[in-house]
Structure 1
Amino acid sequence: MSLSYADLLSAAETLAREAGDAIMAVYARDFSVEEKADKSPLTEADRAAHEIIASGLEALSLKIPVLSEEDVAGFPGPDEKGRYWLVDPLDGTKEFIKRNGEFTVNIALIEKGRPVLGVVTAPALNTAYLAAEGIGAFKVDEKGERHALRVAGKPEGRTWRVVGSRSHPSPDLAAWLDNLGAHEMLPMGSSLKLCLIAEGKADTYPRLGPTCLWDTAAAQAVVEQAGGRVETLEGQPLSYAKPSEVLNPHFVVWGY
């Protein structure tokens, strides 16, 4: 069985929205918070979203392996074509716990180390971002209408708009910003930071702290298909070629 990127994008969006519905059901009531081995928080919403997405991707019968934040041990590695699904069922669990709405569901398709398709949904904001090679990048509004995305381009004669994390301040960030020059900060949680750049609402996002593959892949697809870049500090595209190494290097997102 073979599906086009358009078909896969539609299927991934449907699963992300179903996972979002499950997340919002938990969000609407009291819930408990556990602590994982790495000290990061975990809720029943994370688990529920994972089950919906993992079972839904398996039901597509494409035999593409799934690497999810909530089941790293169950990942067998990419298939013979270098493909795998990369999933963060609930990105921004701290934002979820704070109830500020800035959390997302992320599903990406990786081929030969590159995110060729990505879906980012923000269920509390009733917004989604979609992208795939050969199709482009889009924001889906509350009416379900798609709007094409394009990055803003390099600032010429204006202040840099820098998006940053609400939950992960970095001690190295001040020096990086001093080197950048005149700027204003736009705080945002989860993978929505990258999506702001794809929308043209921010110019750069320096991430000089720890992230994992599943935190960035889907939104990276959106940024790249909107004309932007997600690069390591050495100027190389952020890669997903070694999924056994789940930590990303430090990186910068550029809106040009």
Structure 2
Amino acid sequence: MDLEEILATTCSIGWGAADLLRSYCKTGSNQNLNVHYKYNEPVTAADLAVNHYILKRLQAELNNLNFGYISEETYKRGNREKLTSEFVWIIDPIDGTRDFIKKTGEYAIQIALVRKKRPILAVVVIPELQKLYYAVKGNGTFVKTPDGKSQPIKVSTRKSLEEVTLVFSRSHRNPKLEYLLQNLPCKNHKSLGSVGFKVATIVEQGADIYISPCGKSAPKDWDMAAPELILTEAGGKFTHFSGDEFQYNTGYIDQWGGLLASNGQLHELLSRKVEAILETYQDLE
């Protein structure tokens, strides 16, 4: 299997999906989005259309290869079966649907190829910025613009907890997150949309850290797989609060345990601090 050829195909699909999403935004109204809710999360006509587009093109253009597929819009809750294919696509047609509906621009298209529970290829597209981030395991992270130009991209080298910028979710705030924000020494805070958008901000050196303690629900495989590889190949780290790496296609899509992404300079220190702070939070409950 030639990963470079598969990457080129995936990038082309990512750009096409971005064009499709922008076509929904051009109407100036949400009436054509047909918004409904699935497991307390919004789903729109655009989510479904982009999901169909990505799956159809992947299957049509790579039909000679045996892949499995895990997608937010087709996965059935309660399914505990691990896909047996050696290579599995994990797809989020719109990461940050709430931001897509609100037209903040902070949403992303995320496509990852996983082998043996770990991502080996990833594409994250930020349609409103017209930027596509891509990575293949061991080859670094690159950012591409519609004119075809691409360049390598790296995270910051900031090392002071007092100087780094911490990003967190605009839509999924909870008391545990508020407690962390109050007690971590990082004083530069920024709330943003999707996980993909947050990671893009970190690799663009507009931020250094992302934290997300689990509340009543946990992020899913499709929230994490592509952004993780984009960040780690750019020199950063992305783990559970415990420091354990993510595992994908395990038969269980929930990523419990809290999420910590960083430029890598302070990751272990932050992991220890976050766990210590959360221990005191448990004592207060």
1:99 aligns with 2:103: yes
The residue identity in structure 2 corresponding to 1:99 is K
Contact 1:116–1:221 (8 Å) recurs in 2: yes
| Corresponding residue number in structure 1 for 2:253 | 246
Following superposition, the deviation at residue 241 of structure 1 comes to 4.3
Query: Which protein has the larger Cα radius of gyration, Structure 1 or Structure 2?
Result: 2
Once structures 1 and 2 are overlaid, which stretch shifts more, 62-71 or 193-202?
193-202
Contact 2:165–2:208 (8 Å) recurs in 1: yes
Q: Among the aligned pairs, what percent are the same residue?
A: 29
The residue identity in structure 1 corresponding to 2:95 is D
Does the residue aligned with 1:55 lie in a helix, a strand or coil? helix
Superposed CA RMSD in Å reads 2.0
Following superposition, the deviation at residue 157 of structure 1 comes to 7.2
1:45 aligns with 2:37: no
Distance 2:14 2:82 in 1: 22
| Corresponding residue number in structure 2 for 1:130 | 134
The residue identity in structure 2 corresponding to 1:129 is Y
Structure 2: state its 5+ residue gaps.
265-285
Distance 2:186 2:198 in 1: 20
Distance 1:39 1:171 in 2: 19
Match of 2:75 among 57, 72, 76: 72
Please, what TM-score do these two structures have when normalized by structure 1? 0.91
Superposed, 1:49-198 pairs within 5 Å as 49-59=50-60, 60-61=62-63, 62-73=65-76, 77-81=82-86, 83-156=87-160, 158-190=162-194, 191-198=196-203
Aligned length: 252
Match of 1:255 among 253, 263, 270: 263
| Corresponding residue number in structure 1 for 2:18 | 20
Following superposition, the deviation at residue 158 of structure 1 comes to 5.0
Following superposition, the deviation at residue 63 of structure 1 comes to 1.8
Contact 1:42–1:93 (8 Å) recurs in 2: yes
Distance 1:33 1:171 in 2: 32
Structure 1: state its 5+ residue gaps.
none
Between Structure 1 and Structure 2, the one with more helix by share is 2
Distance 1:147 1:170 in 2: 37
Does the residue aligned with 1:71 lie in a helix, a strand or coil? coil
User: Deviation digits for residues 72-115 of structure 1, max 9, x if unmatched?
Assistant: 1499743442x200000111111111011111111000111111
Contact 2:161–2:185 (8 Å) recurs in 1: no
Distance 2:36 2:149 in 1: 38
